Amino acid sequence: MNMNDLRNVRASDLNAQTGGDPREDMVVFENVSKTYPRQGNSGQATLAVDSLNVRIKAAEIISILGPTGCGKSTAMNMIAGFESPSTGTVLLGGVPVSKPGPDRSIVFQQASLFPWLTVLENITLGVKSRGMPEATYLERARQLLEAVRLTGFEKHYPYQLSGGMQQRVQIARALISEPGVILMDEPFGALDSQTRLMMQELVLQLWQQYQPTIIFITHDVAEAVFVSDRVLLMSKRPGRVKLAVDIDEPKPRTQEFITSSRFIEVQSELLHALRSEVQDAATPAA
């Protein structure tokens, strides 16, 4: 396969590329902009993202790249229900997002586990507090501990786990409520390269088993290419989708994909576009 097998889509073509059957859409941004009010008397309002029109299908894995401050986390926070658009609408399953909910789970860069709770207690705390029957959440926890390869660590505390193991606990906690959407905000940024690759492979294995929609924020182009069905590259602030690249390599993927000519060509394309945006963001306005 070569680059002709990819559909590299510039911003002007995004509506056609991200369209399709609306019944299959899980997350939709309809002309979404977000402005933060000015801070202090001398400050100016900040337009963080502008005119986002994106459709993300059910069970699709999307990665979002872009220079620092381009609005990646703002877009994710609007899906999560932590923030509201200034204009436009964010839809989840065809319904406007108005608040957080158990149909969306978040995996942060830091595991954010409760240090006084065991692995099992951390995984089950949320669903237990929402009234899920004990037999149900214990069975789900058992299955997830096996899926993330933590069987036997149920009674361990976070301080007894490595960074990668703590992230696996966080992923199990995210999956136990069977959410339709998992939001991953640079989840492996603090891990060493070997552990990071293992975690990327784990995400793809879990996706194959549970089929959630995954929206993945990262600064790592290689990571984005490896895990995603589609990579969205955002421009400098105000963030707009500059480029979308479909990656048709079947999932789950192996490390051999990383050394393929296809992977290298896609990575080069995205690196070039990202570098251009980073340089523009660093150039003072005239």
pLDDT by residue for the chain (286 residues), tens only, comes to 333 333 343 333 333 334 445 448 999 999 999 999 877 666 788 999 999 999 999 999 999 999 998 999 999 999 999 999 999 999 999 999 999 999 999 999 888 899 999 999 999 999 999 999 999 999 999 999 999 999 999 999 999 999 999 999 999 999 999 999 999 999 998 888 889 999 999 999 999 999 999 999 999 999 999 999 999 999 999 999 999 999 989 998 888 899 999 899 999 999 999 998 988 877 765 5
Runs of H (alpha helix) within 82-220: 119-129, 134-147, 163-175, 193-210
Structure tokens at 49: 């993202």
What pLDDT score was predicted for residue 189? Answer: 87
- Cα dist from 39 to 36, 43, 157, 218, whole Å: 9, 5, 41, 28
Least Cα distance to 241 among 57, 58, 15 occurs for 15
Contacts of 141 (CB under 8 A, 6+ apart): 120, 123, 124, 154, 172, 176
CB atoms within 10 A of CB 55: 21
Least Cα distance to 108 among 177, 151, 153, 169 occurs for 169
What residue type is 224 in one-letter code?
Answer: A
Alpha carbons 89 and 84: distance in angstroms, whole number? 9
Residue whose structure tokens are 């790249």 = 65
For β-strands 213-217 and 230-234, DSSP reports them as unpaired
What pLDDT score was predicted for residue 3? Answer: 34
What pLDDT score was predicted for residue 40? Answer: 67
The whole-angstrom distance between residue 39's C-alpha and the CA centroid of its chain comes to 29
Residue whose structure tokens are 């002309």 = 31
Are 277 and 70 in contact by the 8 Å Cβ rule? The answer is yes
- Please classify residue 137 by burial: count the beta carbons closer than 10 Å to its beta carbon, then call 0-12 exposed, 13-18 middle and 19+ buried: buried
Give the largest Cα separation in the chain, rounded. 64
What pLDDT score was predicted for residue 286? Answer: 52
What pLDDT score was predicted for residue 7? Answer: 37
The whole-angstrom distance between residue 142's C-alpha and the CA centroid of its chain comes to 25
What residue type is 113 in one-letter code?
Answer: L
The residues spanned by each domain of the chain are 3-36+47-103+180-282, 114-178
Taking the CA of residue 110 as centre, how many other CA atoms within 13 Å lie in the half-sphere pointing to its CB?
A: 4
Q: How many residues does the chain have?
A: 286
Least Cα distance to 123 among 108, 141, 147 occurs for 141
Are 205 and 240 in contact by the 8 Å Cβ rule? The answer is no
Are 52 and 79 in contact by the 8 Å Cβ rule? The answer is no
What pLDDT score was predicted for residue 110? Answer: 86
Class of domain 3-36+47-103+180-282: alpha beta
What pLDDT score was predicted for residue 13? Answer: 38
